[in-house]
Structure 1
């Protein structure tokens, strides 16, 4: 997620298209970001607002997710002893993104352990619970077709309803 650049995102009628290179499958893939049903949590509206804020701060190219200080200001390039350190373009690190997710989960009083990887696991679990095809879930989440690890990402949504014992006449 933090490796994406602003150039990887394009607005479309359905919301946004995001194109990125998937190292595990060795190809570029395009995923869609669709409008949500609740304006307060709609990913398209949220992304549009975020991109407008970046544009207002004269950030129209480079990384999509950038470092922000505790006063919500975009941070300038960092230096240590006069030498640049970190990403010169101000790209957020994966560790910083994980910290943001942990803080937001705490602020929302969510239970359990949260990390940067929770977004991926949560997506797979929610999509499975909504009855989506595992192949489409894998492709949207960047897993290789037939990758068995995906099954570990999908929490047991409803083990009674989804039991293989249902409907076999026992």
Structure 2
């Protein structure tokens, strides 16, 4: 692939704009304004979530591959180019086929790539993309996605299966009476109570989890959104067998009993990796958390395989089923109050309780 011809990120304001500043305010003020632009670029780079940076980087790779395949300039996105890109993403954008042989991205992935590409080209590479052109590309993608639905073609995994309360109880009680089993029970119950992502559970340290008189306080910092920087409270549960607070305390007590004072530093992981021989290591990786959640559910006979997002989906679903409103659920799980993902989980409960056929027969 040829070297990208896109302008470097954070290239600064164009020279003609700097010249205008100098003409209006003088050279010295213009230089200070230019320094402020550089500072703003540095702040943006520092505060941009890692996941967003990775998404932009992947979008750039996909965009450059599209431009190379179509023999189009990568530095001049036009209305036609963007619409063509949208169609390409959905029908042949994958570098390697999916397991079912399809070459196009799943609709959600195609939409993410398109949005990230447009944002990246605008913000990082100063490409002029009129709003109407971007809107037409998204409209084209939506129309093509509708065509896939009409053709009964389904792609992607869809939403993660929610960990329902009854299943959660069964799974928690099915954990083994070993150090790994005690950890798994705490991982499951605490993760559910704070609507955690696998990556959040993996990144927790001991200082993030404190026992208070009325329960646990868990400080979660992911950087994915401003709403993910939160402190979630977990009260004691009515049933001590599935109480997240007691499960956390049991895990910490068991760990200390078996390893002594080796893992008592506030900066030590909240949930340690444990190998098959019972050796305790460092923090669990997000993939290890996902595997553990899936393994716990499978052992308990959960019909749908849980993933790393099942605890997050489960809290929103079960809280809604129990009568919690959107604001309360959003505060606990770190969602924006109008989050589409959160409302999608809530609809799982609402579609049964607020159903037009309920009580008719």
When normalised by structure 2's length, the TM-score is 0.40
Counterpart in 1 of 2:247?
A: 46
Q: How does 1:1-170 map to 2 (within 5 A)?
A: 1-23=201-223, 24-25=225-226, 28-56=229-257, 57=259, 58=261, 59-61=263-265, 62-75=268-281, 90-157=282-349, 159-163=351-355
Q: Deviations over 1:82-109 (max 9, x none)?
A: xxxxxxxx11011001111111101111
Cα RMSD after superposing both structures: 2.0
Structure holding more helix per residue: 2
Question: CA separation in 1, counterparts of 2:245 and 2:238?
Answer: 11
SS of the aligned residue for 1:31 comes to strand
**In 2 relative to 1, CA 108–146 (structure 1 residues): closer, same or farther, beyond 3 Å?**
same
SS of the aligned residue for 1:40 comes to helix
**In 2 relative to 1, CA 44–150 (structure 1 residues): closer, same or farther, beyond 3 Å?**
same
Q: Deviations over 1:21-54 (max 9, x none)?
A: 2421167321112211222111111000111223
**In 2 relative to 1, CA 132–74 (structure 1 residues): closer, same or farther, beyond 3 Å?**
same
Question: CA separation in 1, counterparts of 2:284 and 2:334?
Answer: 21
Deviation at 1:4, TM superposition (A): 0.8
**In 2 relative to 1, CA 159–20 (structure 1 residues): closer, same or farther, beyond 3 Å?**
closer
When normalised by structure 1's length, the TM-score is 0.80
Question: CA separation in 1, counterparts of 2:279 and 2:250?
Answer: 16
Question: CA separation in 1, counterparts of 2:300 and 2:284?
Answer: 22
Structure 1, unaligned stretches of length 5 or more? 76-89
Using the TM superposition, name which of 25-34 and 129-138 deviates more: 25-34
**In 2 relative to 1, CA 164–143 (structure 1 residues): closer, same or farther, beyond 3 Å?**
farther
**In 2 relative to 1, CA 157–28 (structure 1 residues): closer, same or farther, beyond 3 Å?**
closer
For these two proteins, the number of residue pairs brought into alignment is 152
Question: CA separation in 1, counterparts of 2:232 and 2:273?
Answer: 24
**In 2 relative to 1, CA 155–74 (structure 1 residues): closer, same or farther, beyond 3 Å?**
farther
**In 2 relative to 1, CA 44–28 (structure 1 residues): closer, same or farther, beyond 3 Å?**
same
Using the TM superposition, name which of 65-74 and 22-31 deviates more: 22-31
Deviation at 1:117, TM superposition (A): 0.7
